[in-house]
Amino acid sequence: MDDRLNIAMVTSSFLPKVGGMEIAMHSIAQAMTANGHRVTIFAPRIKGDNSIGFVHDYDVVRYGLSIRGGAKTCYYHLDILKKLISMNRTQPIDIIHCHSVDYPGCYVRFVNRFLKLPVVATPWSQDIQKLPDIGYGMRLKRGWEKRIIKNLESFTIVTSVSQSIDEDLKELVSPTYFEKRVVSIPCGVWSDEFSASINSMETRKKYGIPADSKMIISVGRNHAQKGFKYAVEALPLIAQEIPDVCYVIVGRDTEPLRELASHLGVGDRLILTGQISDRQELVKLYKSSDIYLSPSLIESFGITSIEALASGLPLIVTNVPGSRDLHDASYSFLIEPRSPKAIAEACIKLLQDDALRKKMGDSALVNVQKYDWTMIAKQYIDSYLKAIHLKEENGKTRIDT
């Protein structure tokens, strides 16, 4: 076999939609392509412009119909099969990498009845995690846990981005499966992307952030799992001790938080930028901040926290699945979730102590190096080679459990 692999990645969500999984897929594919591998991402067709909005060297093939509910139709299965067969005829596929084990897992399980290729699958978040009190997780929907188990059983290798995902997998697969088929590979960051110096005063001015304020930043879409409302509820408590504090949230659907902040009397201290697709703009905001806050109720890993580390920011993270996996006392505070008081106390302590922030920020920059995407991509390639070896060894891709 040629050292250069022909890789087909299958997903149910991709750029231009911006999220942790989408950015991770782009980064992994870019790093692999830079090392001479051929990567094609199979992503659903969307309404409007289907360009991904990022410079990329891999191929993107769109499948399905740009209609609401299209993912539930058999057409998606058949269209992906048709496109994968076409690709395989042109240049044989070495490996399929399935991103998410719910809908994409079903598509890949179906097409592999015909292609019979080794498959590596990566669960990302709500496809395998669940939080019943906020209705979070596909496994809470009728019939989906059984489908996800069937999908997992059909894969050759499953990669886990965190200890929290490990725990979810252990609920669904046998100990033998977990020992032989699960490979731990964390998420990553492009370290070089965060290395350039920036003009923080210019960036703050652009977004209406006072030049001399103490700036807290969070990044993510406004979903119950992100816990942003608890951070906004903490803002009055922080402002009592840090009068010049400013809280910036970057992400889509955050406007409802403005009403809460106004009701609490801190509307002028909350700045909502909306979603920022320009990576350099996002980097500038990270590096213009003083601390990073993740008030989440559950995460698969927390890519934004790694980005904050690469920006030299100390972290405040909640003691919940995913977030606590990244905690290290040298650069982060671990706090109780759903607690405005705990958020406020941690923020106040960091914002009042310049030396402590500097020390933790320096530690962040040292520790983030192990998460560079170039190194992470190599770990994925190793998992592909392991899957190919198992396929050749067993003569099948289904996993015995």
Each residue's pLDDT tens digit, 320-363:
999 999 999 999 999 999 999 999 999 999 999 999 999 999 99
How many CA atoms lie within 13 Å of 245's alpha carbon, on the beta-carbon side? 26
Q: What are the backbone angles phi and psi of residue 102, rounded to the nearest 5°?
A: -95, -100
Q: Under a CB-based contact definition with an 8 Å cutoff, are residues 64 and 75 in contact?
A: yes
pTM above 0.85, yes or no: yes
- Between 399 and 84, the more confident residue is 84
3-state DSSP of 139-171? HHCCCHHHHHHHHHHHCCEEEECCHHHHHHHHH
pLDDT (average), residues 85-108: 97
232's enclosing H/E stretch is: helix 228-241
Confidence (pLDDT) at 3? 84
Helices (H) and strands (E) in the chain, counts: 14, 13
Q: What confidence category does residue 399 fall into, taking pLDDT thresholds of 50, 70 and 90?
A: very low
- What sign does the dihedral 257-259-265-271 (CA atoms) show? positive
Helix (H, G, I), strand (E, B) or coil at 131: strand
Going from the C-alpha of 154 to that of each of 110, 214, 366, the distances in angstroms are: 10, 51, 39
Residue 69 has pLDDT above 90, yes or no: no
Confidence (pLDDT) at 401? 41
DSSP annotation of 183 reads E
Tell me whether strands 38-44 and 59-63 are parallel, antiparallel or unpaired: parallel
Supply angle C-alpha 236, 240, 242, rounded to 5: 105
Confidence (pLDDT) at 74? 85
What gap in Å lies between CA 295 and CA 264, rounded to an integer? 18
Helix (H, G, I), strand (E, B) or coil at 114: helix
What gap in Å lies between CA 253 and CA 272, rounded to an integer? 10
Q: What's the Rg (C-alpha) of the chain? A: 22
Confidence (pLDDT) at 1? 52
DSSP annotation of 98 reads E
Q: What confidence category does residue 70 fall into, taking pLDDT thresholds of 50, 70 and 90?
A: low
User: Mean pLDDT, the chain, as a whole number?
Assistant: 94
Q: Looking at this protein, which amino acid is placed at residue 246? A: C
Q: What are the chain's domains?
A: 6-188+372-394 (3.40.50.2000), 192-370 (3.40.50.2000)
